[in-house]
Structures are given as structure tokens and as C-alpha cells.
Structure 1
Amino acid sequence: MIVSIALPSSRAHAVLARCALALAAIMAWSAPTHAADAPQTATLDGILDQAAALVPLETVIVARDGQIIAERGYRGHRTTAATNIKSASKLVISALVGIAIEKGVLEGTDQRVASLLAPELPANPDPRLQRLTVGNLLSMQAGLGSTSGQNYGAWVGSRNWVRAALARPFDDEPGGRMIYSTGSTHLLSAILTRQSGRSTLQLARDWLGPQDGFQIAS
């Protein structure tokens, strides 16, 4: 069974526990101990009614054995509408990097970032940039200071996101501790577009779709 929920990331942490309880209720409902479909449906409808109390919640989709058995939109949101998946887009980029390696667009996870993004390296670059690999970016172990959290505004306000991400001071060695940073994912996106000559949107639509009921919006 698959349960999908959508809610704005800016408020996600505040309701995560309540959403987990709601999902636990749905999963308990879905257990194969129920014999009749009608009582199950009534129970699930009740759970989805209660989920409306989770104010940030936008949509819920419940699928079992590949079939959608329930879906609900809240406060004007629709399960068929496009939405910004925010940090979940990192999973999409990781999948695209894997496909790019399989197709020969990239050599592998040990490929050095400096050679792939040479024109965007900062003046007098830190020597550690020469050790930075595609795999380090994928695992959030670039060592570069994060562009997320309190640093996000300044980063997105910069004129060149790639150069600004590469110019961040090192907080650890490449391959060291995990440092969550949207900049690392953006660097992967830049690498994909430079090596393929196509936008990340074009690659995603070509390599991940089309699938029935699935669309990557612009």
C-alpha cells in the first residue's frame, strides 16, 4: 500500500507527528484483516474526514496493489493539480543522475565536479574542490557550507547559483559528514544540463515519463 500526502514544507515539521498518526490509522485500516469492502470504505472515509483537522494538509492519496482506493483534497487543493514538491525533488535529481550514468552521459559517482563545472569555479578556489565528486553531492557530503536554512535567501538572491554554491566555505572535508544543502542538488542539475545539452525539465519528462496518471509540470 502507498499513502501520499502533500503539505507545504515550511510548516511540515509542525504537523509531522500528527500526520504520522493519521498515516498509522490509514495503514491499520488497510491491514488484510477486514473482510468486507463497505465497512473498510466507511472507516477510511472517516479517517480522511478527521485528517481535515490537519490545517496544512493539502491532499491525500491512498493506493493498494497499484489501484487508488481513496483520495481527498482539502481547502481547495486537488489531487490532480501540479504542486511544488520542494525537497522531494532531490529524489528526482538523484534518479536522473543514475539514469545519466547508465546512458553514459556521466562517467560515474567518482567523477570530479571541478572538471564538469570548470567555468563556474570561484577565483582562487579551495583546493578541496578538486576532490569533490558527483557521489559527494548525491550523499550531501560535499563538505561545502549549506545553502539551505538561514543561508537560503542569500544564495537564491545571488546572480549565479552554481558559482555561489561552489564558493561556499568548506565546513568539512568532501566525503565527510552529511550537510543538508539544496545547493548540492542544484549543482547536480547544472551538471546534467551541461553534459546532456538539455534542461533538467526535458530530461525528467523524457527519462521518467510518460506514465499513466503522472506528469512533470514546468
Structure 2
Amino acid sequence: MDIIRFLNATEEIKSHLHSFILLKDGAVIAEGYHYPYEPEQVRLLHSGSKTFTAVAVGIATGEKRLTLEDKVIDFFPEYKDVEMDAKFPLMTVKHLLEMATGHSGDSLFTIADKENWIEAFIKAPLKNEPGTEFLYDSGATFMLSAIISKATGMSLEEYLKPRLFEPLEITDYEWDSKDGVTTGGWGLMIKPEDFAKLGMLFLNKGEFNGKRILDESWIELASSEQVATSNIEIREDWAQGYGFQMWRGSENTYRADGAFGQFCVIAPDKNLVAVMTCEDADSQELLSAFYGNIVSKAKDSNLFANSDLQDELSRMLSNKSKPFVYDATTSYMERRVNEKVYTIRLTGKDMPITFDFRGSDLKISIGETQVIESSKVSFKKGVMDCEIAPVTFIKFFDRSNRRWKYAASHEWQNDETLVIHVYYTETAHRQQLELKFSEDAVEMRIISGLKKLLEANGALSSIPIAYKDILIYGTSS
């Protein structure tokens, strides 16, 4: 069966698929969540957020609040006299939508360490005339959000609440902001099911449950190629062109696309919508498996003509949602280090760390705020204040003050080495905390799960972001 072959392929290519929803002809025909991820949990979309921002622009154009040809600088008269590139006054809303701003690199990496992001964007030098060449630019999406604020008097999140979130019956969501401006290009957290509703809105040409939310003409513009990407992208499904904050893909598909494999794929020819959330190191393999096993083989008839195959798929997806059960491991060190206070240096300051072993359970306390609870035989779930935080794509604008939901398990690799597996279940990410104990000292190595994936498939050297191990030493008092 094609869907089962796809799910098996995700295991083979180590895509670490956390959730999968497939709709055909408006009905859910496959849905599953890999434990410890759950359907009722919001998920950080990364750049999947961008498509929601473009929807806001589409709604605003329909309300005659702005046009695609409006000049960016005209929304910010307070900055008209700042020193800017001579080409900047040519930049339009459309150029921001299609990622053709003219910058030589993603402007977010230029503006994010500045106090005023809008001013920094306006003052950033341009390599090309706006509209001439594609270059992925998250700063451009932030500026779209800022323009929505200027044009409507509301933040992007406030503007979308009655116009998109409520009509799509999306009630559980969060979105980052900077100085009152929704980040736009990242930072949105919603449930996978609600991500699929965005796909259905596009598949139904701007309608949802019979209510028109977006003009059909906007859906056509946003989902079609507005700018070529083959000159800058070698991956097949990033070289098919770019619409308005959406990527074109194989098999006449298009998608909302977030880092590490957060996808909402729309296949209009097959009347399909699919949502995938993952921690994936090579998303081209994942998309190729999806297109090859599902999209290219989907017919107008139901994919599930055979009831035995339906039962097999149901069992497979159900098994992924069951708690893992591990063989318990132990060590004489549990008694020796139990409740002993070690001092480690973390985030520039000395902090106490203690380990409280109780049967198969473990509680780690770090400093005054962070507690990680874990189990040898399954997962413990909880919420933590992070001294040790999940990796974020934009390191200089992370959610360091946020409390993260997690699930954790632990095992002894040998008598001196304890490994704790921490899954940050609202994100794509996980960590390994590797602790080596001696009588009076502990060495803790924090390893990003993404780093391990990148190493496994040889891609680490091609990723322009460092995921170095964090090595911390501690001594007992």
C-alpha cells in the first residue's frame, strides 16, 4: 500500500516523522502521531509561519488596505530621511512576498542584533534592484508583518484572529513578537490539525466550510511561481519556483515550508493535502518519498479500496502512538550520586545540579528553576523553565523565557555513564544529556538531536549553522 510504503520510507531515511495527516477530497484518510508527540499539542512551525503572514496580506488587499505595488518605504514615513540604499525606494509589497528584495543574504541576520528591526531593514544595503532575483529573506516577512500593523492598526496576530483563525476554528496558537510586531516569518505555534486547515483553505480556492476567506485570484497568485529559484537552489523541490511565501514542488504541488521538515503540502491535481512535522536533516528525501509513494499514485478514486489495507494502516499508525517501553538499566552509581550536590557553570554562572533516583524514576534539578523528570522504562512528561533549552533556528531570537513542554527517558550505558533523552514536544528538537560520573565530579555533554541526524547522513558540513556539543564540568560540594 502506497501510504504504508511512504511511512516505511520515512523510517529508512531517518526523517523522524512526528505527525502525519493526509486528506483526500476533504476527508482525513490517514493520521498518526509518533509517541511522545500528541495531536492536541501545538507545534513550532518555523518558516511555515510565513504562509500565514502572506494570507494576512491577501486579506488586507481584499479589504483595500494595501496593494501589491505599494512601496515599502511609504508605510514608514518616519524613516524616509534615514540613510538608505538608492534602490530601496523601489521595493514593493510584492517584492517582499516573493523574496526578491535585492539583499545579498537573508536580512534577518543583519537586523536581528539591532534594537530597531524596521529601521535596520530600511538601512540595509542592497545588492540587486528589488524584483530581479530570488533570495530567501526572513527579514522580508517580518516587514510584511510590520506593514500589516501600519495598514490596519493591529498586530498581524490580532488582525488574523477574526479573519483567519476564528473562521478556521483555530483557537490554540501562539506567535512571537518583537516590540509589538508579530515576527511573521517564524514563531507561530499551532496544532498539526490546524496546519492542515490552512492547506484545505488553499485547496478550496480561498473558502473554508463554505465561507470565503481569501479571493480565489489571491490563491492563484500565491500558489503559482512568481519568481524563479533554480538559479540559487539545487534541491529539486526548492528549485521549482516561489510564490507568495510558499514553495512550488514536484507533481504540480506547492507548500508551506518550515525548517527541519514542518510541511503543509497541497496537491490540487489529486485533491490532496498533507501535513508532516519532523526533525529532519534532509527534507528533500522526505518530500521525494511523499511524492513518489503517494502523490504520483493517487487516483480520483479512494486510496483505500481494500479494507485489509485500511486495517494494516490503522495498526501501524496506532503503534506509533503507543508509549515506548524500555529494558530498565541500573548502576551502583545511582546510590553514590543520589541527592549529592554538584556545581556546574552554565549560562555564565555557577549553578547547583542534583540527581534524585527513585526506582525507575529520576529527577534532575538545575539551579533554581529547571527540573527534568525522567523514567527508565518509558517517558516522563512535564514543563520546564529552561537553563538547558532546545536548539532554535534563529539563535539570537529564541524563546529563552518560555516554559517548554518535554518528555524524557534515561538509561545507563555503563556504570559511570548516564544518558537522558529529552524530547521538546512542541518543537522539532530533542537532546541527549550524557553524564559521566566519578566520586566527586560529573561531566555533562549536551548533544543536539539534529546534530546527530546531520552527522548520520553526512550533511553536517553543508549546514551553515553550528550545532556543537556543549560540554560542562561539575564538582561535588
- TM-score > 0.5 by shorter chain: yes
Q: 1:134 to 1:63 in 2, by over 3 A?
A: same
How many residues are matched?
Answer: 173
TM-score between both structures, scaled by the size of structure 1: 0.69
Q: Paired residue for 2:91? A: 132
> Is residue 2:67 matched to residue 1:111?
no
Q: Paired residue for 2:111? A: 155
Q: Paired residue for 2:391? A: none
**Deviation per CA, 1:28-50, whole angstroms, max 9, x where unpaired?**
73xxxxxxxxxxxxxx5675466
1:60, 1:79 within 8 Å by CA — same for their partners in 2?
no
Which 5+ residue runs of structure 2 have no aligned equivalent?
A: 175-477
Calculate percent identity across the aligned residue pairs: 24
Q: Paired residue for 1:87? A: 47
Tell me which amino acid in the other structure corresponds to 1:96: A
* Residue correspondence of structure 1 range 1-218 to structure 2 within 5 A: 29=2, 44=3, 48=7, 51-52=10-11, 54-106=14-66, 108-120=67-79, 123-147=82-106, 152=109, 155-211=111-167, 214-215=170-171, 217-218=173-174
Note the C-alpha offset of 1:76: 1.5
Tell me which amino acid in the other structure corresponds to 2:46: K
Take 1:188 and 1:90, find their aligned partners in 2: how far apart are those partners?
10
**Equivalent position SS for 1:147:** coil
1:52, 1:74 within 8 Å by CA — same for their partners in 2?
no
**Deviation per CA, 1:97-144, whole angstroms, max 9, x where unpaired?**
1110110211x1111111102324573222212111111111111113
2:84, 2:124 within 8 Å by CA — same for their partners in 1?
no
Tell me which amino acid in the other structure corresponds to 1:62: L
Tell me which amino acid in the other structure corresponds to 2:82: A
Tell me whether 129-138 or 73-82 shows the greater mean CA deviation. 73-82
Take 1:171 and 1:216, find their aligned partners in 2: how far apart are those partners?
41
Q: Paired residue for 1:7? A: none
The structure with the larger Rg is 2
**Equivalent position SS for 2:30:** strand
**Equivalent position SS for 1:60:** strand
1:147, 1:155 within 8 Å by CA — same for their partners in 2?
no
Q: 1:172 to 1:212 in 2, by over 3 A?
A: closer
Q: 1:63 to 1:157 in 2, by over 3 A?
A: same
Q: 1:100 to 1:213 in 2, by over 3 A?
A: closer
RMSD: 2.5
1:147, 1:183 within 8 Å by CA — same for their partners in 2?
yes
Note the C-alpha offset of 1:79: 2.9
State the 4+ residue runs in structure 1 displaced beyond 6 angstroms.
none
Tell me which amino acid in the other structure corresponds to 2:165: G
> Which is richer in helix?
1
**Equivalent position SS for 1:164:** helix
TM-score between both structures, scaled by the size of structure 2: 0.33
**Deviation per CA, 1:39-83, whole angstroms, max 9, x where unpaired?**
xxxxx5675466455353221111122121221112411233211
Q: 1:202 to 1:169 in 2, by over 3 A?
A: same
